[in-house]
Amino acid sequence: MAELVAEDPASYRNFTRIEPDMFQKLLHVVGPRITKNHSWFRRPINPALKLAIALRYLATGDSYRSLMYGFRVAHNTICGIVRDVCEAIVSAYAEDVIQTPTEPEQWQAISDQFAAKWQFPHTLGALDGKHVAIRCPKNGGSLYYNYKGYHSIVLLALVDADYKFTWVNIGAQGGCSDAQIWNQSDLKLAIERGLIGMPDETPLPGDDKQIGYYIIADDAFAMRTWLMKPFSRRGLEKDERIFNYRLSRARRVVENAFGILANRFRCLLSVMPQRPDTVCSIGLACVCLHNIMRSRYPGDQNIQMDQEDDAHQVIPGAWRDGFNMDNLMCPRGGNIDTFQAKQQRLYLKQYLNSPIGSVEWQDRMI
């Protein structure tokens, strides 16, 4: 690794998926947490080597026996190293880099980003979930067996307009429906009880009617006044198709965030052999590293994300080239939209099709 830093920085970034100076900063913070005491029997493994082993595993998802030959560390030792390093990363960074806003000003800043970047006002985040494949846990039965035909845990997340994760729920059994996971989540409970500090209703830009703020999601979630989703029936009218285009364009940030995350840390695309609690620590560590890179090294991920040309046609990002994480299953009834939410969506549809809420290219996108 020292030779790569000195002679081939690009290969170093490909080997660890992070910049050399980020490695040193991680080592400075995480190193004391993973350093073992000297014993009479043997000296402990250097924390820099532990961090390198863990990052290489996150980057590739290789088996521990394969990593053993590259680092000359026993596979059963690597098992503990990966777990300890990921837990240390989560302990050191999670509270600082995965921050769910609790004040109206913080939510408003996210909403302003969505309005400026994606022309969808009053949006507080994009919500989605993905399956992380795991080996069937001991005595797991069918609890983790999902509708795709493999065992998994679910990573449910809220993403801001800059592809950063602002809220994460990981660890639900793959056999659970998306509605079950979301309905039991702490974020949904906090929103319903008014504990999350969402901004008060304000008019949309150029309008005079008070409209609440909301997160955006796909059809897998029940619609509320604080959660908007596309129209789902067939034979949609033109104005409904335009609404769907505008919402889906803004919601693309969460698909891109998951794609960037999984293609940088490809362990999430493999069948992870660890226990579910260890998989949760690994997943959270990947999210922490992703958010750190979005904040400090955003240029490193630009090639991965979708882009738009001058005509606002989508240029697919590099994350779409390979395998990707599977979506959550859409509901089959029982996930009922409220009447107030339907009325609010109709008003938003009218606004986005009006002269003050439309964008010049939306007609040719449907």
For residue 172, the surrounding DSSP H or E stretch is strand 165-173
- pLDDT for res 318: 60
**279 SS3 class:** helix
- pLDDT for res 42: 74
- Concatenating the DSSP letter of every residue in 194-229 gives T-S-PPPPEEPTT--SEE--EEE--TTS--BTTEE-
- What does the domain layout of the chain look like in residue ranges? 2-97, 104-365
Distance CA 131, CA 150 (A): 10
Torsion on CA atoms 303, 309, 313, 318, rounded to nearest 10: -10
Domain 2-97 has CATH 1.10.472: yes
- pLDDT for res 317: 65
- pLDDT for res 304: 61
- pLDDT for res 299: 64
For Cα atoms 278, 127, 118, give the angle at the middle one, nearest 5 degrees.
130
What residues contact 147, with CB distance under 8 A and at least 6 apart?
329
Region of residue 125 (phi > 0: left; psi between -120 and 50: alpha; otherwise: beta): left
pLDDT tens for the chain, residues 1 to 366: 778 878 888 888 888 888 888 899 999 999 999 988 777 777 888 999 999 999 999 999 999 999 999 899 999 999 999 999 999 999 999 999 999 999 999 999 999 999 999 999 999 999 999 999 999 988 878 889 988 899 999 999 999 999 999 999 999 998 887 778 888 999 999 999 999 999 999 999 999 899 999 999 998 888 999 999 999 878 899 999 999 999 999 999 999 999 999 989 999 999 999 999 999 999 999 999 999 999 887 666 555 666 677 776 766 666 566 667 777 665 444 567 889 999 999 999 999 999 999 999 999 888
- pLDDT for res 12: 83
Max CA separation in the chain (angstroms): 77
Burial class, 15, CB count within 10 angstroms (exposed 0-12 / middle 13-18 / buried 19+): middle
| CA 18 to chain CA mean position, Å | 18
Burial class, 303, CB count within 10 angstroms (exposed 0-12 / middle 13-18 / buried 19+): exposed
Distance CA 62, CA 50 (A): 15
Distance CA 28, CA 34 (A): 11
DSSP, res 262: H
Do 90 and 285 meet the contact criterion of CB atoms below 8 Å apart? yes
